[in-house]
C-alpha cells in the first residue's frame, strides 16, 4: 500500500468550512498568468505549443463529415493539440515529480523499477492529486522590503518570513497553503527581466518551519520555488534540499509560477484558496488556475 496523498491524507472537512468562512465579498482573484506558445518556462522544460488539429476551412477542404451527410448551415468547429509539460505556468508538482538516491525513489515508496512505465509513473502521479479548498496565506517579501522584486538567486530566511507575517498580521496554521511572493512575475513576460530575477525563494530553514506548522502545500511565483542555487546543500551536496524535504520526504505539495501580483497590490494576506488539479494518469504534475476568494 502506497501513500499517494501526502499531507492531504488527513485533510478534514471542517477545514473547507473554515476556509469558506473567509469569503466576505465574493471577490475572486486569479492567481495564474495566461499560457501561450513561446512563454518563458523553467530551463529544460519543453516549449508550450498550441497546434490546430481541426479548423472550419480544413474540415470543408478535406471533405470531412463529423455530423454525417446533412450540414446545410455550414457548421464548423476548431480543436487543437496542446503540446507542453504539465509544469507550464501555474502548476502543482505531483508526489512522483522528483526522485532521489541510487534507487531513484519518490514519496510514498514509488520507484522506477516497479512503478515507472512508458506512460509515466503509476504511483503518486497526477491522477492522485487532490483538490485544494483551504485557507491561503501570502508572504509578500518585496512588499515587506519596499522593493519591486527580490534579486535573482536571493534567499529568504525564516527570521524574515516570521517578521513579514507579523507585519501582515497573519499566522500560519495547520492545513494552510502558504504562498511566497518574490516579485518575479511583476516582469512577466519579459524574459530578459525574468532571467535577471530568476532563482529567488525560501531556503531550507523555511521548509523545515512549514513542516512544523502542518501546512498541506506551499508555493511561489517562481518556476523552482526554492532559492537556487541552494545556499545550504548539506553534507550530501543536495542541489534542491527544499524540494527534497517537502515533496520527496514529507509529501507536502509544491506549487510554482503562481501569480501573486494582484493579491500583493490589494494587500490581501489571508484568503480562501482554491486549486483543482487535472487528474491525468502518468503525469508528474498539473497545470492549475488557482483562485483566491475574499
Can you read off the three cell numbers belonging to residue 134?
Answer: 483551504
Q: What is the structure's pLDDT at 117?
A: 98
Across the range 55-80, mean pLDDT stands at: 95
- How many residues does the structure list for the chain? 294
Domain ranges across the chain: 6-34+86-293, 49-83
User: What would the mean pLDDT of 227-242 be, rounded to a whole number?
Assistant: 95
Q: Does position 1 have pLDDT exceeding 90, yes or no?
A: no
SS3 assignment, position 261 = helix
Closest alpha carbon to 218 in 3, 8, 4: 8
The pLDDT value given to residue 170: 98
d(CA 81, CA 45): 18
List alpha helices for 96-169, DSSP H. 112-115, 141-145, 158-168
Q: DSSP strand E in 24-105: where?
A: 28-30, 49-54, 79-83, 91-93
Alpha-carbon Rg for the chain, nearest whole angstrom, is 21
What is the rounded average pLDDT for all residues in the chain?
97
- pTM of the full predicted structure? 0.96
The listed CATH number (3.40.50.720, 1.20.120.1200, 3.50.30.50, 3.40.50.1820) that belongs to domain 6-34+86-293: 3.50.30.50
Say yes or no to pLDDT of 221 above 80.
Answer: yes
C-alpha 14 chain-centroid distance? 24
pLDDT digits (tens, 9 = 90+) for 91-132: 999 999 999 999 999 999 999 999 999 999 999 999 999 999
163-203 pLDDT, tens per residue?
A: 999 999 999 999 999 999 999 999 999 999 999 999 999 99
Query: Which residue, among 217, 210, 5, has the nearest Cα to 90 in the 3D structure?
Result: 217
Cell numbers that stand for 219 in this block: 508555493
Q: Where are the alpha helices (DSSP H) in 152-279?
A: 158-168, 191-197, 204-213, 241-243, 249-250, 261-265
Q: Does residue 192 sit in helix, strand or coil?
A: helix
pLDDT for position 155: 98
Amino acid at each position: 500500500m502506497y501513500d499517494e496523498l501526502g499531507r492531504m491524507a488527513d485533510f478534514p472537512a471542517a477545514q473547507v468550512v473554515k476556509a469558506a468562512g473567509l469569503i466576505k465579498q465574493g471577490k475572486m482573484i486569479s492567481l495564474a498568468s495566461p499560457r501561450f506558445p513561446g512563454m518563458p518556462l523553467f530551463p529544460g522544460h519543453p516549449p508550450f505549443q498550441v497546434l490546430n488539429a481541426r479548423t472550419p476551412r480544413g474540415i470543408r477542404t478535406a471533405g470531412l463529415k463529423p455530423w454525417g451527410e446533412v450540414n446545410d448551415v455550414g457548421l464548423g468547429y476548431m480543436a487543437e493539440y496542446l503540446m507542453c509539460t504539465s509544469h507550464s505556468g501555474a502548476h502543482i508538482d505531483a508526489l512522483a515529480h522528483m526522485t532521489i538516491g541510487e534507487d531513484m525513489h519518490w514519496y510514498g515508496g514509488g520507484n522506477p523499477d516497479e512503478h515507472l512505465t512508458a506512460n509515466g509513473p503509476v504511483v503518486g502521479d497526477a491522477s492522485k492529486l487532490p483538490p485544494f479548498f483551504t485557507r491561503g496565506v501570502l508572504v509578500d517579501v518585496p512588499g515587506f522590503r519596499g522593493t519591486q522584486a527580490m534579486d535573482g538567486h536571493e534567499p529568504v530566511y525564516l527570521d524574515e518570513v516570521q517578521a513579514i507575517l507579523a507585519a501582515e498580521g497573519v499566522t500560519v496554521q495547520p492545513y494552510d497553503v502558504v504562498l511566497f511572493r518574490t516579485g518575479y512575475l511583476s516582469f512577466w513576460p519579459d524574459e530578459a527581466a525574468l532571467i535577471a530575477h530568476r532563482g529567488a525563494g525560501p531556503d531550507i530553514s523555511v521548509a523545515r518551519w512549514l513542516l512544523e506548522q502542518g501546512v498541506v502545500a506551499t508555493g511561489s511565483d517562481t518556476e523552482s520555488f526554492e532559492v537556487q542555487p541552494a545556499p545550504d546543500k548539506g553534507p550530501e551536496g543536495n542541489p534542491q534540499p527544499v524540494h527534497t524535504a517537502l515533496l520527496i520526504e514529507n509529501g507536502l505539495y509544491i506549487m510554482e509560477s503562481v501569480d501573486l501580483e494582484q493579491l500583493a497590490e490589494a494587500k490581501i494576506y489571508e484568503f480562501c484558496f482554491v486549486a483543482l488539479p487535472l487528474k491525468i494518469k502518468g503525469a508528474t504534475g498539473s497545470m492549475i488556475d488557482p483562485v483566491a476568494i475574499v
